[in-house]
Amino acid sequence: MKTTETDPITLTVVWNALLSVAEEMGSTLRRTAFSEAVREGDDFSTGVFDAKARLIAQGNFTPGHLGSMPYVIRTVLEYFQPDTLRPGDAIFLNDSFLGSGHFPDCFMASPVFLEKQLVGFVVNTAHHIDVGGAAPGSQRVHGVSEAFQEGLRILPIRLVREGKFDPDLLRMILANVRIPEKVEGDLNAQLNANRAGIERLSNLFEEYGASVLNLAFDDILSVSETRMRDLIAQIPDGLYSFDDCLDDYGPSTEPIRVAVDITVDKSNIEVDFSRSSDQVPAALNSYINYTRAYTVFAVKVFCDALLPQNEGGIRPITTTAREGSFFNPTFPASSGGRATVQIRIFDVINGALSQALPHRAMGAFSHWNNPNIGGTDPRTGKSFVMYDLGFAGYGARARSDGPEALAPVVNCRNIPVEVHEHNNPVRINRVELIPDSGGTGQYRGGCGLRKDIELLADEATITLLGDRHKFAPYGLLGGNPGAKAQTILNPDGAAEALGSKSVHQLKRGDVVSFRLAGAGGYGNPADRDHEAIKRDLADELISPEHARENYGVDLD
């Protein structure tokens, strides 16, 4: 471990204080938010930066935001010179290229001062439930061919001056969204979070002084970089490649090739997506900041999931993709549905690094589900947008089955049924695991999840955002793929199969049944312990027929 210039006790206290600042910002944002996406879904993130725009610490929230943040403050300072910033300012942006890949993710950055000296920044990101555009929720994929169709695009603006929102800018934003009261509530929650962060970080600077803290910041980044390089150096040098596919970018379109080549060279790692498909004429493209975010996350997980997330730990990791490709599109490529790509970024990196570190890899995730349903609520006569998060299984690992109903990589939370039914004209008819869906192996992949949603309004638009309808989650080291996903309209009537990224008009009484894929298995199914098979039968995760056909045993 590198020797630091800051004494160990001070360094430990400062580091834990910085984490506390980021976590308190997150808890403030969650407690004061208006939308289900932020309040229940945890679709937000927080970070602390020094005056040099270096990421020092982050809260334990969404990786897609966290990996994008380091580049956001640099952009802010290109638009606003440091000497033009004042106490109480907040800079706001949501541009896909500059931010985390789609317009709903809105960043708010506030400068922190010690007397009149700029000493750092606090930043938060929140997924706003609607920012306008072609469909409720602003995440329509099919039929959206350029960014200008996706809603409000905001380059860095000084939205808050002297602690108060600029009324003209706020009025413009709220006039262009479907749920202005929730958007305004979440904007206020973002400002609340930054106020909490400013107060805590200012107190830290007052206690220790700028010279001590700036030295501690240098040491934190240096130690983080050294540790990451040491961990990368433990991976055998070489080139590791893996290919997978996304279903398509809308009905009757071609699959999207997701291909990665990872080069490990001593203490450096380069992750190259250049062999992937070209950017597509639909709102699914992954701008480079977003690609970089989940690349850093995946590499960090393989090296040390608990390693501090800051600029130091990011330095040894290089993310590349040819310009104009799906993972580095050029403006005005549309990208509103890019959330569905994040798991596949992890899955292909996982598949590639499984060749070097099989004991740390796992079968592919069951894909998550992020539909948006919008229309007019007959109970209030006002617009509604139901933003849902559906999570199924993790892939099996070298020593354990994949768990069920956990958020993969996105690090969000399930939104309770009661919250959905209270806030939207819907009824959730069932939420249950799907037996026999997990990939078989010595260790079983997590089961898929079924969720049936019934519309109680006269009509509504549903935007689907899922995957794995055509390409099953892979297994590793002899493990088998999980079952494919399905989305079915009116499963108990005139059932109709829907695409994973299509848009449909619903009428009162329609039921949409989401059936998420099962996750991939790990190891040879013939090596599965019979006691584990018995447990699965008792828990109704598999059927007797499944046990006979896939494990060759009859345990009736």
Task: Give Rg (Cα) of the chain.
Answer: 23
Pairing state between β 157-161 and 164-165: antiparallel
Compute the average pLDDT of residues 510-533.
97
What pLDDT score was predicted for residue 93? 96
DSSP 304-325: HTTS--SHHHHTTEEEE--TTB
Please state whether beta strands 238-246 and 448-455 pair in parallel, antiparallel, or not at all (unpaired). Answer: unpaired
Exposed, middle or buried: residue 201 (CB in 10 Å: 0-12, 13-18, 19+)?
Answer: buried
Averaged pLDDT for residues 5-17? 94
Express each pLDDT in 433-492 by its tens digit.
999 999 999 999 999 999 999 999 999 999 999 999 999 999 999 999 999 999 999 999
Strand partners, 106: 126
Q: How confident is the model at residue 412 (pLDDT cuts 50, 70, 90)?
A: confident
Reported as type and span, the H/E element at residue 164 is strand 164-165
pLDDT at 260 over 90: yes
Grouping H, G, I as helix, E, B as strand and the rest as coil, residue 141 is coil
Residue 61 confidence (pLDDT): 81
Which amino acid belongs to residue 89? D
pLDDT above 90: residue 68:
no
User: pTM of the prediction?
Assistant: 0.95
Give the confidence band of 176 by pLDDT, cuts at 50, 70, 90.
very high
Q: In the predicted model, is pLDDT for residue 529 greater than 70?
A: yes
Residue type at position 456: L
Residue 484 structure tokens: 């494919």
Higher pLDDT, 64 or 309: 309
Give the residue extent of every domain in the chain. Answer: 8-225, 362-556
Q: pLDDT tens digits for 279-336?
A: 999 999 999 999 999 999 999 999 998 888 899 999 999 999 999 999 999 999 999 9
Please report which confidence band the pLDDT of residue 1 belongs to, taking 50, 70 and 90 as the band edges: very low
Helix (H, G, I), strand (E, B) or coil at 359: coil
Q: Please give the pLDDT value at position 2.
A: 52
State what percent of residues in the chain have pLDDT above 70: 99
Kindly tell me if the per-residue pLDDT of 406 is higher than 50.
Answer: yes
Q: Which residue has the higher pLDDT, 59 or 52?
A: 52
Across the chain, what does the average pLDDT equal?
A: 95
pLDDT for 72 equals: 85
Between CA 261 and CA 397 the distance in angstroms is: 23
Q: Backbone phi, then psi, for 188, in 5-degree steps? A: -65, -35
DSSP sequence for 271-309: EE-TTSPBP-SSTT---HHHHHHHHHHHHHHHHHTTS--
Is the confidence at residue 71, as pLDDT, over 90? no
Count CB-CB contacts under 10 A for residue 169.
16
**What is the per-residue pLDDT across 112-134, written as a single tens digit (0 to 9) for each?**
999 999 999 999 999 999 999 99
Beta bridge partners of 257: 245
Average pLDDT over residues 27-37: 96
Give the residue-averaged pLDDT of 193-210.
Answer: 97
Residue 553 predicted with pLDDT over 90: no
